[in-house]
Amino acid sequence: MDTAEISALAQAIIHQHGATFGAQLHHDANSVELTPQPLPPALRSEPAYLAALEACSALGFIAVDAETLAQAWQRQTERTNRFDATHWPDDPRDFGLSNSDPALAFAHCPRELGLYGVLPTAEWVGRMARAGVPTVQLRFKSEDQAAVAREIKAAVEAVKGTGARLFINDHWRAALDAGAYGIHVGQEDLDTIAAKDLETIRTSGTRLGVSTHGYAEMVRAHAVQPSYIALGAVFPTTLKKMATAPQGLARLAAYVRLMKQYPLVAIGGISEDLFPAVRATGVGSVAVVRALVNARDPEAAARQLLQRMQAAA
Ligand SMILES: Cc1ncc(COP(=O)(O)OP(=O)(O)O)c(N)n1
Ligand SMILES: Cc1nc(C(=O)O)sc1CCOP(=O)(O)O
Ligand SMILES: [Mg+2]
């Protein structure tokens, strides 16, 4: 096939999926603007792969995600014996996500983790757990290891008797020592935690949640078979500087279709009014920081968000 024919296949993909994944220009605070990305160097020469690489870059997927999608589109084409521009890849087999040993998976957690409060201190953790938030995370940022250990122990104490599941962000050793329900790690943590340490966490029965921000990171997260996968940032967030653009609802829905074998948590810029649309994608949990921590009455906000979770279920 020549370049013009491959471009015609790329155009067919864009024609089918442009309205879903293309630039979304809204004028509200939660708009997600996806700009076309430069075409990454091709690693293969098959037409389906090349067309998908071109199309996915044009649809705003960053290089690693366009590459992951192009490889999946090529596998889909081989598996079904035809190139189908209408079918956005969503079969785990086409992403190499199917051949894992269940005996090596992290401990299970419920698919519906529900409202998930990501909170800066043990005091906040206790407060929101007592307000009925079913899943809470201590996201305590400090280099002072003694202070970290104290805060984690206090958070473990704070959720006792509330029924809330407590995840600890970043500080996995102290979380294990304190007997937390689970640990949440980012992609950079997966770079630095040694395989034997991941194995220690897994065999302890402590749950593991992993952050992801697109197709390539989801494939990477799957390699460790975590207890849940977080998908972010769905909308713009001012809480921290993100390395990747907000994903938006269309991508979130596609990620959910692909990763539905995992409990899934949506995070990033999710305010109360956005709960129904986020829940409609099929995620079992919605994680928030500012919607609780910046609320004038955080207990009332928790009640509202819990109602929204129920209503949208
Ligand atoms: C539920 C949930 N999802 C994602 C994150 C982000 O975690 P991480 O990538 O480790 O970044 P920091 O929170 O450490 O800045 C999270 N904490 N919780
Ligand atoms: C801590 C965090 N992690 C994200 C990710 O996408 O990995 S987004 C995020 C911030 C979420 O805060 P808010 O609900 O206030 O926008
Ligand atoms: Mg972290």
pLDDT tens string 161-180: 999 999 999 999 999 999 99
169 Cβ below 6 A of ligand 1 = yes
Instruction: Kindly state the DSSP code that residue 291 receives in the 8-state scheme.
Output: H
CA distances, 21 to each of 11, 18, 88, 100, 282 (Å): 14, 5, 11, 30, 18
How far does residue 244's CA lie from ligand 1's centre (Å)?
Answer: 13
What pLDDT score does 26 carry? Answer: 42
Distance in Å, CA 240 to ligand 2 centroid: 7
* Strand partners for 265: 230, 285
Ligand of minimum distance to the alpha carbon of 172: 3
Instruction: Say what the pTM is.
Output: 0.96
For residue 233, the ligand closest to its alpha carbon is 2
Distance CA 276, CA 121 (A): 28
Distance separating alpha carbons of residues 56 and 65, to the nearest angstrom: 8
**pLDDT given at position 23:** 57
Q: Where are the beta strands (DSSP E) in 16-170?
A: 114-119, 135-138, 165-169
Q: Write down the mean pLDDT value for the chain.
A: 94
Residue 60 Cα to ligand 1 middle (Å): 23
Q: What's the token pair of residue 243?
A: 């390395």
Q: What is the average per-residue pLDDT within 61-67?
A: 97
User: Which residues make up each annotated binding site for Mg(2+)?
Assistant: 170, 189
Which residue's C-alpha comes closest to atom 11 of ligand 2?
268
Contact 287/279 with Cβ under 8 angstroms? no
d(CA 304, CA 291) in angstroms, rounded, equals: 10
Ordered by start, the domain boundaries in the chain are 3-95, 102-312
Per-residue pLDDT for 30 more than 80?
no
Residue 25's pLDDT is what?
Answer: 41
Atom of ligand 1 nearest to the CA of 267: 3
In a mutational test of the pocket of ligand 1, which residue from 118, 137, 184 has the highest number of ligand atoms less than 8 Å from its CB?
184
Please report the atom of ligand 1 found closest to the CA of residue 285.
1
Cα 251 to ligand 3 centre (Å)? 23
CATH number for the region 102-312 comes to: 3.20.20.70
